[in-house]
Amino acid sequence: MFAFYAFVASSQGVTLTLRLLVVPPEAILFLRCADVFCCNSQQTLLGSSEHSTKAGQDYGNREALDIHTQTSMTTKAMATSALHASLQPSQVDCYCRVDTLTVVGARRFVPSTKHCIHPDIKPSIKPKKSRASKGDKDKLPPDLIPGLPNDIAVACLARIPRLYHRKLRIVCRKWYRLLTSNYFFTRRLQLGTAEEWIYVIKRDRDGRVSWHTYDPKHLLWQPLPPMPVDYVEAMGFGCAVLNGYLLFLFGGKDRLKGSMKKVVYYNPRTNRWHHAPDMLRRRHFFGCCVINNYLYVAGGECEGIPRSLRTAEMFDPNKNKWSFISDMSTAMVPFIGVVYEGRWFLKGLGVHRQVMSEVYEPELDSWSPILDGMVEGWRNPCVSFKGHLYGLDCADGCKLRVYDQATDSWKRFLDSKFHLGNSQALEAAALLPVGDKLCVVRNNMSIVLVDIANHDNRGYLWETIAGKGHFKNVVSTLWANLAGRSRYKSHILHCQVLLA
């Protein structure tokens, strides 16, 4: 092994720094051929002045060569004295920088070396850090909840009330993808934690359409995104629910565009509106229903056509496509309808404004007139629930009746203790099932639950879960009638229940 001392000389003044280099004999030949290293304004001198002079001639600087020669002779003497002073190599890394070619060449003879680097310059042989791609930046931790397996984490999140899902979706992207997935809500159904919310679409006094949702479990109204622009002032549009949680709005009449065939739907899992394929025919004030998760539309009117429509169509959510079905027997503008025992019953006004009724059977794809006792005197909202057909027997929704197939007639079922009168503000606008109970929604946004399963215990049958209360409504209605201000402030257009 051979020991060499390297000195650094600055071009502005002679500054000597002593460093010990220990190299094997095989590297001597290489060092004699390339014993001069230059970096920026510094020069590292190894060996005799003869090799330094050769390096100065390579750079073409004669004056620097003279200074270089004198400096190397001085440093050679100092190297001799320093060699006797210390035979141990320095434990401090060398901070002089050499060029890449020299370092790579020296590695052939020195199998194990420490690279000399400048403190403020990165070495060229150091591998560069790869810049993270866009996909890597979006990559999320593998665990939904750190320290828990994903199946347990999903089970925990699925038990959180729906009231807090809107906040959970903004925690991180992985939670957002989970809470908006079908798997998450299927898990909630399996655990029995899925909740039903009541969605109310109403027309305000200024003629604009707004919508609201009510949580019957926590008795709270919840915020919703704005209505689609095309339906803010629309009239006569349809509303239905597919898959148990997708709220569809379709058709209607716009003041500027006229009759529409536009279709949009709201997904409570993502809390957003989406577009769907348009209907095949423009129409408004038509009838609609859902049978076996197929959306049916029939009758109505179309601007520019003097007569009512007979056409009907069906939407298949699996194919995401509309198709025509058999036409109705007569043209009709339906004002009420219900699905009972797999058939669609419609009642409305014919071409000459006479009251007509028809029934549609999906299995046969056929329409037929109906004049039995079920449709006789049928004007208030009704709903099919657990194999029975229930309807409201008064305008304020304080009486319930049930249809008896054996006698083909309606029978009295339940009465409330309080009757609210015939004011339009207290008129029952919808009757729909919520859980094991029936829900009555009035134009003043009051909501009443009727426990029909426990009809023997009359003290707990009718429960007001939203509104100002029965007595205050009666008093306010009386004063409004006396003052001549009985005009209602809002009118409910549609009510639906979404499960999520």
Q: What DSSP line would sit under 296-360, residue for residue?
A: EEE--B-TT-SSPP--EEEEETTTTEEEEEPPPSS--EEEEEEEETTEEEEEEE-TTS-EEEEEE
Which strand (E) or helix (H) includes residue 479?
A: helix 470-483
Distance of CA 28 to the CA centre of its chain: 70
Q: What is the pLDDT, as a whole number, of residue 353?
A: 86
Distances (CA, A) of 229 to 55, 204, 246, 465: 81, 16, 19, 31
SS3 for 174? helix
What three-state secondary structure class fits 463? strand
HEC string for 399-446: EEEEEECCCCEEEEEEECCCCCCCCHHHCEEEEEEECCEEEEEECCCC
Binning the chain into helix, strand and coil, the percentages to the nearest 5 are: 20, 35, 45
DSSP track, 73-84: HHHHHHHHHHHH
Q: Which of 189, 382, 400 is nearest to 289 (CA)?
A: 382
Tokens 């959180």 belong to: 160
> Is the four-CA dihedral 175, 181, 183, 185 of positive or negative sign?
positive
User: According to the model, what pLDDT value does residue 425 have?
Assistant: 74
Calpha distance 307→326 (Å, rounded): 18
Residue count (the chain): 500
User: How much is the pLDDT for 456?
Assistant: 62
CATH number of 137-189: 1.20.1280
Residue with tokens 């999903």, as numbered in its chain = 154
CA atoms of 456 and 169, how far apart (whole Å)? 44
* Distance in angstroms (rounded) separating the CA atoms of residues 178 and 151: 12
500 residues of the chain, pLDDT tens digit each: 544 444 444 444 444 444 444 445 544 444 444 443 333 334 433 343 444 444 444 444 444 434 444 445 544 445 444 444 444 444 444 444 555 566 556 555 555 444 444 444 444 444 444 554 544 444 444 688 888 899 999 999 999 999 999 999 999 999 999 999 999 999 999 999 999 999 999 999 899 999 999 999 999 999 999 999 999 999 999 999 999 999 999 999 998 889 999 999 999 999 999 999 999 999 999 999 999 999 999 999 998 888 899 999 999 999 999 999 999 999 999 999 999 999 999 999 998 889 999 999 999 999 999 988 888 878 889 999 999 999 998 888 888 999 998 999 999 888 887 777 667 778 899 999 999 999 999 999 999 999 988 766 555 588 889 875 443 444 544 444 444 344 556 899 999 999 99
pLDDT score, position 248: 98
Q: Where does residue 490 rank: exposed (0-12), middle (13-18), buried (19+ CB within 10 A)? A: middle
Q: Where are the alpha helices (DSSP H) in 97-144?
A: 100-106, 134-137
Chain-centroid distance of CA 444 in Å reads 32
Task: Find out whether 468 and 410 touch, Cβ atoms under 8 Å.
Answer: no
Fold of 195-222+380-500: Thrombin, subunit H (2.40.10)
Closest CA to 490 of 448, 447, 432, 429: 429
Predicted confidence at residue 103, as pLDDT, reads 52
Q: CA 297 from chain center: how many Å?
A: 29
Q: How crowded is residue 213: how many other Cβ atoms within 10 Å of its Cβ? A: 17
Number of other CB atoms surrounding residue 131 within 10 Å = 6
- Predicted local confidence at residue 104, as pLDDT: 57
User: CA 124 to CA 270: how far, in whole Å?
Assistant: 50
Range 179-199 burial, b when 16+ CB lie within 10 A, else e: bbeeebbebbeeeeebbbbbb
Where do the domains of the chain lie? Answer: 2-106, 137-189, 195-222+380-500, 225-377
Query: Can you give the pTM of this predicted structure?
Result: 0.69
- Please report the pLDDT score of residue 446 as a whole number: 92
What is the token pair recorded at 47?
């060996």
Rounded distance between C-alpha atoms, residue 73 and residue 169, angstroms: 76
Alpha-carbon distances, residue 478 vs 9, 209, 303 (angstroms):
106, 28, 41
Report the top-level CATH class of 225-377: mainly beta
